Structure 1
Amino acid sequence: MLIETMSIVRDIPNLNQLSKQRLDWLLAIKQQDFNTLAAMCYQSHVIPYAMIRQLRLPKSNHYEKMLPSYIIQQVNIKNITEKDQVWLLSNFDALVTTQECIIFCEELINTFNKGRTPKLILQLIQDKCLPTQNETYWYSLQEKTKDILKKQFMISSYYELTAISRILSHENTELDLGFEDHERRQIHSRTMFWSNYSSRFNRVRALLPNEIYRYIETKLKRLSPQIECFDQDGNQEQSEVFIFELSNIIVVEFLRGELSETRFFKNTEWNAKRLFDDKRLSSAAIREMSQMEVHDHLSTWQYFCEKLLRQKLQVKPNDNLPYFKGLPPAVNTYDAKIGLPKPAHNFLSERALKLERWVELFWSAEFKTSKYGHQSGLQLKSNLYLSKALIAKQLDNYEEYELFIKKAANQGNPEAMWQLGKSMLLNRKSDAKIRKYGEEWIGKAASFGHVEAVELATRFKLAFIPYKVSSSITNNDETDIKTKNMEQEKAANEGDLDAMYQLGRRSLLKKGDLLSDRLVAERWIAKAAILGHEDALKLAIKFKLPFVKKK
């Protein structure tokens, strides 16, 4: 009855200010007019709890919890004063639960999205919501809110993966998931390594085994769409896979397992669609794809991985980086031209011992894929020797390098032939006889279709037999090749520059093709060159094909 008569009492003349405010407050509660309650708090520049005490009313959590989302609406965002900012921060500090704080921050971020964020509000957002902070709400924010912050603070997609790494490298995973200590440390070391490239990240994707995915779900309030569960497959390897785009390459990290390798793929449209969009992608399917490079995570791997990225793959760390995160102070200084300090001899010796077994395991796994189906037993073995040669060179063991590169070349490996031929030609100590041998090795590599060797042999008129598919290929192999050609042609028609180049190059560099085939090849090369494909451009210039490079 008393509540029903409040509106009548409110109109009685000569009521004091406190009584009027109290009645206005109670009437707003009755009508669930939370905006009016928030407006009254703003007019007095006090938080709801202080307003309730000021009005000498009993505390009520029921409606007080409804006010934060209305609080921010009271300020004039186009003309916000420092006093208004202090009031907003006081309201934030008065919140009790983490969820209330997250909702309040989301409201702030979305409210000030279109204009300039005032200084004190900006500081709150930086302290509480950015992924660079140790204690952050970032991983609980909605995706649209994260997108606003990414644009405002130039945050890369790298941080989508750190949420998972942070959980998987925590000591709790030993009990909860049975992770071993070295697995946790390795996940942490990779996260730290890639943090040095965080500004280079574009698209990301995380594929997790079912058990791990469910575990992550319990730890994160909201999973990003980029975090997915592997399609259910009893043969699926129980390893987490991170996929991320760094400029011209796509990196795939296998976080655990016997190999736990990193694979680097060329960032073609075909590879990108497979690695980022294929919902049935598996570890086995990734390993079936032809990669540019593969890297281990054994002793001092960071030094060699950085070198590979910088020198061969043309990927550099964040700008103006004086130190590499995740490395001891003795070896973490960084120079953009020369990279990281070279590891001590004892660490290199340890690496050499561990790599010997890792290389054997890697090629044992690789030979089980269909990528090497057309190679003979000797050619398969030559891949292993080539890897050993390149590792020996990496470790400055040139005597061992020469031994294995010759073994690989003698067993029919075109890349080894090319490397051996180049070293013979370019070595200042080589006499005329050795340089002649070098020309022969390059000719042999060209005969196997090695692209660089073909170009060099053609340019300097070195003798070689144009590469043709072996007549001993089985019907199944022929079907595989036809299928691959059809897929490549489809990709080229969809605008994949690498597919255009590969389709054109095959016919252009072979002798005896029909004129019609050659004209089609020339059109593909010219089209790729026009669109800016560097290798196609070189080939178009070499064969004097008409094209106008796209500006």
Structure 2
Amino acid sequence: MNFQFSIPSLPETPQCSPNQLIQLASNLPDATISIPSVDKVLEAIEQGKADQVSKLDWVYCIHAKAQWDQQNIDRSRKTSAAIWKIAISNSWLQHQLLWRLALYYGDRQEQVLAQSLTESFDIFANSVSHLLPFQIIRALRSTQAGRELARIACEKRVNRTGLLNNIRDILPAYIPLFSQFIEDITPYFTTIRSPNHQQVEWLLVCLDEMSDSQQIKAVNHLLTNVSKNIATNHSLLVDWLRNNYRNGENWYKLSDPARQRLREWIGGINYTDFQTLVNLILNRLDLQYFESNRLCRRRDFWADYSNRFERLRILLPKTSQIAIGYQIQGDVDLLDDDGSDPTEVCLFDFGEWFVVEFFRGRGSETRLFPKNSRNEQILFGESILSVKRIRCLGGDKHDHEFLWQIFSRIWLANNGILPNPNAHSSRNPTADQLQQRENRLERWKREIERLEREARAYCNSSPLRSH
């Protein structure tokens, strides 16, 4: 296939004689070429004519100031201070200086700005110290730049991306420190003595932004450097850690001390909910003395196992729900009324076992169930439960009769549920005390057998319902 191209026509070259060009040049006005110099800019500043300095002159001045300083050492600081004073009201000059200053400190490009200009920055910054770019520059030149940037991000309630978006048009966002300071987020947070809710929310937003490796490192540092009191006061933080690190492969990426601390944090939050429930019952319900005393002993006993509480579900009879109101956080549901004695019920997840604690009424036992899918679905999944339906599940059971704490601890230990390392040890009972317990225990066993027969009859006539 043949292609043919047409050659475009070009305009004719104008015919000009040298004489015409000479005549044209003679008619042009005189032009003076202005060569930039530092002295020229400084002279304009001294004469109050800084507004007449061109952008080209400013760029040259900033670039050549370091060399000029070497030849004018005695005037270097004073003249640089004068330039910063002009920058207070000259936004374009501000941008030029701040951009280079950020590179000077943040990327260690010391050749981009004269040292006298870096040393005179405070003259400018003191007048605008509340503005973000100047706070960041001060952070960049500190010995702990990453920690200071994290502090600023926390005060502004922004993560790294948000911080960079706020300064993108003012400072160079590609400075290495701006990428690296994310590793200082958790170390900074651990220096806050009593973080508030907003600071915890900021931390979680920052954690979500991190890469997997950064987040693992941050969480390890967080778990091993923040006190349990802070975790207890911020269930939001513990919930995030539980959802992201308690199960799955992330759990095994944590160090052994971090895993142990996370267990303690989760347990502490759940035990606090249990403790709050007991205290509300004691304060709001009209209980007999023996009932109040029994509840206090339960609260104190389970305090020794607070590190082991993986999950907690609270079940309340209607009367308790009305009296207590909605002052309990966490997983709280109503017990179905099946005619049993009024009692609150707490379901504890201890990892390999579920523990069910009946607070009051006849029987008032503790039941132990292996953690399997069926028991988990019923105890932590079913919306509708009652005292009789729980007893129908069977399980191993333990009393709350005389000296029950000593024998409950042995019973739990035999099933691998151990108290906190710092828990108080039990005293050894005397022979008379053991005999007294045995007498009471026989009555309790007979009562439990009767209650279980009632429960089986009820469950056979009223199958377990769920939503």
Normalised by the length of structure 2, the TM-score is 0.52
Q: Is the 8 A contact 1:265 1:293 kept in 2?
A: yes
Amino acid of the residue matched to residue 291 of structure 1? G
Residue 200 of structure 2: aligned partner = 102
Deviations 1:220-253 (A, max 9, x none): 5xx3xxx122156595754332224556654322
Whole-Å Cα distance in 2 between the matches of residues 143 and 81 of structure 1? 22
| 1:361 equivalenced with 2:447 (yes/no) | yes
Which residue of 134, 141, 165 corresponds with 2:274? Answer: 165
Instruction: Report the Cα offset of residue 162 of structure 1.
Output: 0.6
Residue 433 of structure 2: aligned partner = 347
Which residue of 192, 205, 212 corresponds with 2:313? Answer: 205
Deviations 1:148-205 (A, max 9, x none): 46434333464453122232344x7533455654144222244135448x2xx66653
Instruction: Report the Cα offset of residue 261 of structure 1.
Output: 0.7
Residue 297 of structure 2: aligned partner = 186
Deviations 1:400-453 (A, max 9, x none): xxxxxxxxxxxxxxxxxxxxxxxxxxxxxxxxxxxxxxxxxxxxxxxxxxxxxx
Whole-Å Cα distance in 1 between the matches of residues 234 and 351 of structure 2? 25
Deviations 1:319-358 (A, max 9, x none): xx89682544x45xxxxxxxxxxx3213212312332442
In structure 2, do the counterparts of structure 1 residues 44 and 325 end up closer, same or farther at CA, with 3 Å as the change threshold?
A: same
Amino acid of the residue matched to residue 192 of structure 2? F
Residue 297 of structure 1: aligned partner = 400
- What is the CA RMSD across the aligned residues, in angstroms? 5.1
Q: Is the 8 A contact 1:10 1:23 kept in 2?
A: no
In structure 2, do the counterparts of structure 1 residues 175 and 104 end up closer, same or farther at CA, with 3 Å as the change threshold?
A: same
Deviations 1:201-225 (A, max 9, x none): 66653334464599585465xx3xx
Whole-Å Cα distance in 1 between the matches of residues 327 and 337 of structure 2? 23
Whole-Å Cα distance in 2 between the matches of residues 255 and 41 of structure 1? 59
Deviations 1:40-62 (A, max 9, x none): 45324499xxx9xxxxxxxxxxx
Amino acid of the residue matched to residue 275 of structure 2? R
Structure 2 gap ranges (5+): 1-87, 98-116, 165-175
In structure 2, do the counterparts of structure 1 residues 177 and 286 end up closer, same or farther at CA, with 3 Å as the change threshold?
A: same
Matches within 5 A, 1:462-501: none
Matches within 5 A, 1:23-102: 36=133, 39-40=136-137, 42-45=139-142, 66-70=155-159, 88=188, 92=192, 98-102=196-200
Q: Is the 8 A contact 2:315 2:346 kept in 1?
A: yes
Q: Is the 8 A contact 2:336 2:386 kept in 1?
A: no
Whole-Å Cα distance in 1 between the matches of residues 300 and 371 of structure 2? 25
Q: Is the 8 A contact 2:343 2:361 kept in 1?
A: yes
Q: Is the 8 A contact 2:159 2:205 kept in 1?
A: no
Instruction: Report the Cα offset of residue 279 of structure 1.
Output: 0.9
Amino acid of the residue matched to residue 401 of structure 2? L
Whole-Å Cα distance in 1 between the matches of residues 186 and 121 of structure 2? 26
Whole-Å Cα distance in 1 between the matches of residues 134 and 333 of structure 2? 46
Residue 316 of structure 1: aligned partner = 416
Amino acid of the residue matched to residue 364 of structure 2? S
Amino acid of the residue matched to residue 206 of structure 1? I
Deviations 1:251-287 (A, max 9, x none): 3221333322112335554333222211112223212
Amino acid of the residue matched to residue 434 of structure 2? L
Q: Is the 8 A contact 1:169 1:184 kept in 2?
A: yes
Q: Is the 8 A contact 1:239 1:256 kept in 2?
A: yes
In structure 2, do the counterparts of structure 1 residues 194 and 245 end up closer, same or farther at CA, with 3 Å as the change threshold?
A: same
Residue 447 of structure 1: aligned partner = none
Whole-Å Cα distance in 2 between the matches of residues 112 and 327 of structure 1? 44
Deviations 1:71-94 (A, max 9, x none): 797896985699x5798259735x
Deviations 1:82-127 (A, max 9, x none): 9x5798259735xx86324433553565566833679999666445
Instruction: Report the Cα offset of residue 291 of structure 1.
Output: 0.7
Which residue of 374, 385, 388 corresponds with 1:270? Answer: 374
In structure 2, do the counterparts of structure 1 residues 215 and 369 end up closer, same or farther at CA, with 3 Å as the change threshold?
A: closer
Q: Is the 8 A contact 1:69 1:103 kept in 2?
A: no
In structure 2, do the counterparts of structure 1 residues 306 and 213 end up closer, same or farther at CA, with 3 Å as the change threshold?
A: farther
Structure 1 gap ranges (5+): 29-35, 52-62, 332-342, 374-476, 488-551
Whole-Å Cα distance in 1 between the matches of residues 316 and 178 of structure 2? 43
Residue 6 of structure 2: aligned partner = none
Which residue of 223, 237, 241 corresponds with 1:145? Answer: 241
Pair member with larger Rg: 2
Q: What SS class does the counterpart of residue 367 from structure 1 fall into?
A: helix
Amino acid of the residue matched to residue 67 of structure 1? K
Whole-Å Cα distance in 2 between the matches of residues 176 and 5 of structure 1? 66
Amino acid of the residue matched to residue 365 of structure 2? E
Which residue of 384, 400, 407 corresponds with 1:280? Answer: 384
Amino acid of the residue matched to residue 205 of structure 1? R
Q: Is the 8 A contact 1:245 1:251 kept in 2?
A: yes
Whole-Å Cα distance in 2 between the matches of residues 81 and 267 of structure 1? 40
Whole-Å Cα distance in 2 between the matches of residues 127 and 176 of structure 1? 38
In structure 2, do the counterparts of structure 1 residues 149 and 21 end up closer, same or farther at CA, with 3 Å as the change threshold?
A: farther
In structure 2, do the counterparts of structure 1 residues 169 and 230 end up closer, same or farther at CA, with 3 Å as the change threshold?
A: closer
In structure 2, do the counterparts of structure 1 residues 258 and 111 end up closer, same or farther at CA, with 3 Å as the change threshold?
A: farther
Which residue of 213, 217, 231 corresponds with 1:115? Answer: 213
Deviations 1:456-500 (A, max 9, x none): xxxxxxxxxxxxxxxxxxxxx8xx7xx99xx9xxxxxxxxxxxxx
Whole-Å Cα distance in 2 between the matches of residues 262 and 24 of structure 1? 65
Q: Is the 8 A contact 1:106 1:145 kept in 2?
A: no
Whole-Å Cα distance in 2 between the matches of residues 109 and 81 of structure 1? 9
Whole-Å Cα distance in 2 between the matches of residues 263 and 85 of structure 1? 44
In structure 2, do the counterparts of structure 1 residues 100 and 162 end up closer, same or farther at CA, with 3 Å as the change threshold?
A: same
Q: Is the 8 A contact 1:77 1:112 kept in 2?
A: no
Deviations 1:513-549 (A, max 9, x none): xxxxxxxxxxxxxxxxxxxxxxxxxxxxxxxxxxxxx
Identity of counterpart residues, as a percentage? 18
